[in-house]
């Protein structure tokens, strides 16, 4: 017991330090979760598919990470270059394909007559 307690408190201190250092991210996390729930809650079933597709395109924002990785890969580090290049291509597919498919779905919701 006497050994476990300092060990635990050490970790609790670590966790608090982590939270303190990243408090901004923690705020963003909490608010984004609430926003996400709020934004979706009243959607009619008709729009489930386009909404899912639109959300799918939005997480394509991961491409920014791919650009950063690729942009800072050493020019002689071929493995990093190849992986980064693949990541950029796939990320772009996610973004472009996602938005175009969503637009095609929604194009059809125009009111006729």
Partner 1 sequence: MEFQENLLHLLYFLASVSFIFGLKMLSNPKTARNGNLIAAAGMTLAIIGTLFLYHSPEGKPIGNLPWIFTGIIIGTIIGTLMAKRVKMTSMPQMVSFFNGMGGACAALISVNEFGKYTQSNYAETLFNSEVLMILLGIMIGSVSFAGSMIAYGKLEGKIKDYVLPRQQLFNTVLLLIILGLGAFIMSQTEGNLGLLYVVMFLSLVYGVLFVLPIGGADMPVVISLLNSFTGLAAAFGGFLYGNKAMLTGGILVGSAGTILTILMCNAMNRSLLNVLVGAFGGQSGAAGAAHAGELGVAKEVSLNDCAILCNYAQRVMVVPGYGLAVAQAQHITHEFESVLEARGVEVKYAIHPVAGRMPGHMNVLLAEADVAYDKLLEMEEANPLFKNTDVVLVIGANDVVNPAAKDDPTSPIYGMPILDVDESKTVVVLKRGMSAGYAGIENRLFFNDNTRMLFGDAKSSIEKLVRELKNL
Least distance from partner 1 to the Cβ atom of residue 26, Å: 10
Residues numbered 47 to 66 that lie near partner 1 (CB under 8 A) are 47-66
- How many Å is the Cα radius of gyration of the chain? 22
- Cα–Cα distance list, 36 to 33, 42, 46 (Å): 5, 12, 19
Residues numbered 8 to 47 that lie near partner 1 (CB under 8 A) are 18, 22, 25, 28-29, 32-37, 39-47
Q: Does 103 bind partner 1 (CB under 8 A)?
A: yes
Tokens of 108: 């059809």
Least distance from partner 1 to the Cβ atom of residue 17, Å: 10
Residue 75 CA to residue 80 CA, distance in Å, equals 9
Size of the site for partner 1 (CB under 8 A): 81
């Amino acid at each position: 017991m006497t050994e476990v307690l300092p060990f635990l408190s050490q970790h609790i201190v670590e966790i608090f330090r982590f939270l303190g250092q990243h408090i901004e991210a923690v705020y963003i996390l909490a608010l984004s979760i609430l926003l996400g729930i709020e934004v979706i809650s009243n959607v009619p079933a008709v729009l489930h598919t386009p909404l899912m597709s639109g959300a799918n395109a939005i997480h394509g924002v991961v491409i920014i990470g791919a650009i950063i990785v690729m942009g800072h890969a050493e020019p002689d580090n071929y493995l990093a270059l190849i992986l980064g290049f693949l990541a950029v291509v796939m990320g772009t597919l996610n973004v472009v394909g996602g938005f175009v498919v969503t637009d095609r779905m929604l194009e059809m919701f125009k009111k006729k007559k």
